[in-house]
């Protein structure tokens, strides 16, 4: 059987109009792979549009996009709609999700448990980032990994591997980074664009959130939270909360870290991180969430104290700490 990447390349050669979409509140991989696939379409002379229901987060203002990022589907037609980095179809947001039944969807993703919601599905959790899948596609289509395409791919891979520090940092993704650098990407310059994007408001929010940290199970689980009040007081929003959970993993001896973030409707979104065999995806799934073995999340509709205690209990059981 022919590999998914050659089939996707054929599908691209045989059509002319494409839409590229990824999940709401896009992270570096979602927006990086969206931009990268757009750059590939531009290089091939294809007609394409980019879509994200919540638009471009400020921290990615520097990223050169191959065209406008639409936040509405009005008037956007396509032969194929690429949905990138979405472990579930609802993650694209309600507007596109409603149209999905009537559109040809190419589902390109690396999340465990992706239900293959596309007409064509390329789902492979061996890839650390969708951006690395898009790099393989560029190779298949003979589009060189240089310039803005290379920056977009680099953004996706460093974001999803935690700058090559997570367990998903494979030899293959290091080889891809190596190729990008060989082809002219300047890692110091691009890393500075990606990382040095903090507002002082975000710094203050992180300080407040760090101050809420509690340790459980003899220091093996760290939990912190962010409330709407904290965001209002510091003048921040949900995108400023990204990554806090990764820093909780810095606490010596922790096997899992969790952050709870209050939503406008009072529910709590949670993010979980672990390493190695400690499976937080299974813990998230128990609350109807999802993700990867070492990075997962979901939503709990409950008070802060109750949401926290349910989550701590589930983590203790899931990691065999009780």
Q: Which residues bind Mn ion (CB under 5 A)?
A: 29, 85, 160
Buried-exposed string 291-309: b where 16+ CB fall within 10 A, e elsewhere: bbbbbbbbbbebeeeebbe
Both structure tokens of 149 = 């395409």
Taking the complex as a whole, how short is the minimal distance between the CB of residue 70 and Mn ion, in angstroms? 21
The residue among 29 and 262 lying less far from Mn ion, judged by its C-beta, is 29
SS3 140: helix
The residue among 9 and 31 lying less far from Mn ion, judged by its C-beta, is 31
Taking the complex as a whole, how short is the minimal distance between the CB of residue 105 and Mn ion, in angstroms? 18
Among residues 73, 34, 36, 77, which one has the least CA distance to residue 56?
A: 34
The residue among 249 and 308 lying less far from Mn ion, judged by its C-beta, is 249
Taking the complex as a whole, how short is the minimal distance between the CB of residue 235 and Mn ion, in angstroms? 29
The residue among 90 and 306 lying less far from Mn ion, judged by its C-beta, is 90
140 φ, ψ (degrees, to nearest 5)? -60, -35
Residue 84 CB contacts under 8 Å (≥ 6 apart), including other chains:
20, 21, 22, 30, 33, 34, 37, 108, 109, 130, 134
The residue among 29 and 208 lying less far from Mn ion, judged by its C-beta, is 29
The residue among 85 and 278 lying less far from Mn ion, judged by its C-beta, is 85
Taking the complex as a whole, how short is the minimal distance between the CB of residue 52 and Mn ion, in angstroms? 14
Report the C-alpha gap between 155 and 30 in whole angstroms.
Answer: 10
Taking the complex as a whole, how short is the minimal distance between the CB of residue 8 and Mn ion, in angstroms? 17
Taking the complex as a whole, how short is the minimal distance between the CB of residue 129 and Mn ion, in angstroms? 5
In Å, the largest CA–CA distance within the chain is 58
- Contact between 259 and 270 (Cβ < 8 Å): yes
- Contact between 264 and 232 (Cβ < 8 Å): no
Taking the complex as a whole, how short is the minimal distance between the CB of residue 97 and Mn ion, in angstroms? 19
Residue 137 CB contacts under 8 Å (≥ 6 apart), including other chains:
5, 8, 9, 12, 37, 40
Taking the complex as a whole, how short is the minimal distance between the CB of residue 280 and Mn ion, in angstroms? 16
Measured from the Cβ of residue 172, the count of other Cβ atoms closer than 10 Å reads 13
Residue 124 CB contacts under 8 Å (≥ 6 apart), including other chains:
4, 110, 133
The residue among 160 and 208 lying less far from Mn ion, judged by its C-beta, is 160
Q: Which single residue brings its beta carbon nearest to Mn ion? A: 29
The residue among 123 and 221 lying less far from Mn ion, judged by its C-beta, is 123
């Amino acid at each position: 059987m022919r590999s998914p990447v050659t089939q996707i390349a054929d599908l691209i050669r045989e059509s002319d109009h494409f839409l590229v979409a990824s999940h709401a509140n896009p992270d570096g991989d979602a927006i990086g792979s969206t931009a990268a696939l757009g750059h590939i379409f531009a290089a091939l002379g294809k007609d394409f549009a980019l879509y994200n229901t919540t638009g471009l987060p400020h921290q990615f203002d520097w990223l050169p996009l191959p065209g406008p990022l639409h936040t509405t589907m009005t008037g956007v037609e396509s032969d194929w709609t690429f949905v990138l980095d979405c472990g579930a179809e609802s993650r694209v947001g309600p507007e596109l999700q409603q149209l999905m039944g009537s559109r040809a969807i190419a589902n390109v993703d690396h999340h465990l448990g992706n239900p293959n919601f596309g007409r064509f599905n390329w789902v492979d959790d061996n890839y650390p980032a969708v951006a690395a899948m898009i790099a393989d596609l560029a190779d298949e289509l003979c589009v060189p990994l240089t310039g803005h395409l290379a920056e977009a791919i680099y953004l996706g891979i460093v974001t999803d591997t935690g700058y090559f520090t997570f367990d998903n940092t494979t030899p293959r993704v290091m080889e891809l980074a190596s190729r990008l650098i060989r082809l002219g990407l300047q890692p110091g310059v691009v890393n500075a664009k990606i990382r040095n994007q903090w507002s002082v408001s975000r710094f203050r929010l992180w300080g407040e959130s760090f101050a809420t940290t509690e340790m459980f199970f003899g220091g093996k689980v760290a939990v912190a939270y962010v409330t709407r009040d904290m965001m209002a007081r510091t003048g921040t929003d949900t995108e400023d909360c990204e990554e806090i959970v990764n820093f909780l993993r810095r606490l010596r001896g922790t096997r899992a870290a969790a952050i709870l973030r209050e939503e406008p409707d009072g529910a709590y979104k949670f993010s979980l991180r672990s390493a190695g065999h400690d499976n937080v995806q299974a813990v998230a799934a128990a609350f109807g969430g999802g993700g990867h073995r070492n990075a997962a999340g979901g939503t709990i509709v409950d008070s802060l104290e109750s949401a926290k205690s349910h989550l701590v209990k589930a983590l203790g059981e899931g990691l065999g700490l009780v």
